[in-house]
C-alpha cells in the first residue's frame, strides 16, 4: 500500500509506577530524518529507539516527543562520604596547629562541606523501563503508520485520477497529429495553386514539403514514451510500497516528454493539450513529494 510522508501518532503507557507519553509527527523529506526529544533518563535507549522506528518508517522528517511522569516516591538516598569527611577533619586540625586556634568544628558544620553528604538516585531497572518505553513507542508507531496509510490511499486515488486524465490528453494528441499533417498538405496545395494560377502543381514537390513538415512536428515517439511512463506510474501506485523516489524519477521523464511535445507543436489544439499535460505533470510531481 501507498503511505503518505505526513502522519501523526500518539500513545500513553500508564502504570502504577509512571506514565510514559510518546507523540510522533512527520512531514515530507527526501530521506529519513529522526529527531527525538525525551528526558535525560531515556538517553541510554536512543539507539534502540532509532532501530525500532526505522522498522516502521522509511522516509520523512519525523519528530518524536517522549514525556515521563514518575508516580512513585522519590527514588533517592543520602550518601555519606566518610573518606572526604576525614580529609576535611585532617585539614581543620592542621589549620588549628598551624595558626594556634581552637578546632571547634561540629557535625553540622562538617555536614555542610561540599560532597560530604550527597543525594543520589536509586539505579533504575533499565530492562523494565525499556519494556515500558518500547510498548508506548510501538503503539504510537501503529497509530502513526495507520494515519500515513489513510492519507496515502487518498493520494493514490487522486494521482490515478490525474494520470487517467493525462492518458485522455495523450489520446487526443495521437488522434489529432495525422489531421494536422493532412491540413498542412491541403493548405500548401491551395496556396501553390493560388500563386501559380493555371500552372500545374508539382505533386512530388508538395510531397517533399509535407514530409519535411511531418518530420518536424512528429511526436509519435514522445507520446508512446509518455503513455508508457503514465502506465508505469499507475502500476507502481497500485503495487504500493515505498515508491516515492521512483515515482519522482518517472514524473521527471513525463515532464521531459510533455515539454518536447509542446516545443514541436504548430497546432493550437495540440499545444493546448500539451500545456494541460505539463500542468498535470507538475501537480503529480507535487503530490509525489508526499509519498514515502
pLDDT in tens, 49-82: 999 999 999 999 999 999 999 887 666 778 899 9
Buried b (16+ CB within 10 A) or exposed e, 156-182: beebeebbeebeebbebbeeebeebbe
pLDDT in tens, 8-17: 999 999 988 8
pLDDT in tens, 98-146: 998 988 889 989 899 999 998 877 556 788 889 999 999 999 999 999 9
Query: Residues 117, 121, 125, CA angle at the centre, nearest 5°?
Result: 155
CA distance 93 to 273: 99
Length of the chain as a residue count: 292
**What was the pLDDT predicted at 218?**
73
CA distance 38 to 211: 71
pLDDT in tens, 218-266: 778 888 999 999 999 999 999 988 899 999 999 999 999 999 888 887 7
8 A C-beta contact, residue 233 and residue 163: yes
8 A C-beta contact, residue 66 and residue 102: no
Mean pLDDT in the chain? 87
**What was the pLDDT predicted at 7?**
93
122 CB-side CA count, 13 A: 7
DSSP-derived secondary structure for 113-151: STTTEEEEEPPP-HHHHHHHHHHHHHHHHHHHHHHHHHH
pTM of structure: 0.68
CA distance 229 to 235: 10
Cell numbers of 188, please?
A: 500548401
Q: Is the per-residue pLDDT at 198 higher than 70?
A: no
pLDDT in tens, 88-100: 999 999 999 999 8
Amino acid at each position: 500500500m501507498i503511505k503518505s510522508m505526513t502522519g501523526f501518532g500518539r500513545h500513553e503507557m500508564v502504570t502504577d509506577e509512571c506514565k510514559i507519553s510518546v507523540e510522533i509527527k512527520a512531514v515530507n523529506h527526501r530521506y529519513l530524518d529522526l529527531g527525538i526529544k525525551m528526558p535525560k533518563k531515556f538517553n541510554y535507549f536512543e539507539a534502540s529507539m532509532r532501530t525500532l522506528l526505522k522498522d516502521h518508517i522509511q522516509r520523512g522528517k519525523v519528530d518524536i516527543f517522549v514525556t515521563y511522569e514518575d508516580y512513585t516516591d522519590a527514588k533517592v538516598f543520602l550518601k555519606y562520604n566518610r573518606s572526604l569527611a576525614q580529609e576535611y577533619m585532617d585539614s581543620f586540625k592542621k589549620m588549628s596547629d598551624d595558626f594556634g586556634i581552637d578546632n571547634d568544628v561540629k557535625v553540622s558544620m562538617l555536614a555542610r562541606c561540599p560532597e560530604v553528604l550527597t543525594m543520589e538516585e536509586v539505579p533504575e531497572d533499565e530492562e523494565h523501563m525499556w519494556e515500558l518505553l518500547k510498548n508506548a513507542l510501538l503503539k504510537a508507531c501503529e497509530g502513526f503508520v495507520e494515519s500515513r496509510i489513510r492519507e496515502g490511499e487518498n493520494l493514490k486515488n487522486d494521482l490515478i485520477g490525474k494520470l487517467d486524465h493525462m492518458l485522455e490528453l495523450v489520446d487526443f494528441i495521437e488522434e489529432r497529429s495525422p489531421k494536422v499533417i493532412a491540413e498542412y498538405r491541403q493548405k500548401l496545395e491551395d496556396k501553390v495553386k493560388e500563386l501559380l494560377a493555371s500552372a500545374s502543381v508539382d505533386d512530388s514537390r508538395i510531397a517533399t514539403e509535407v514530409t519535411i513538415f511531418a518530420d518536424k512536428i512528429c511526436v509519435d515517439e514522445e507520446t508512446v514514451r509518455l503513455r508508457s511512463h503514465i502506465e508505469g506510474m499507475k502500476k507502481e501506485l497500485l503495487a504500493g510500497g515505498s515508491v516515492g523516489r521512483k515515482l519522482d524519477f518517472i514524473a521527471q521523464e513525463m515532464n521531459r516528454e510533455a515539454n518536447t511535445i509542446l516545443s514541436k507543436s504548430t497546432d493550437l489544439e495540440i499545444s493546448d493539450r500539451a500545456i494541460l499535460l505539463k500542468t498535470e505533470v507538475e501537480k503529480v510531481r507535487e503530490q509525489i513529494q508526499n509519498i514515502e
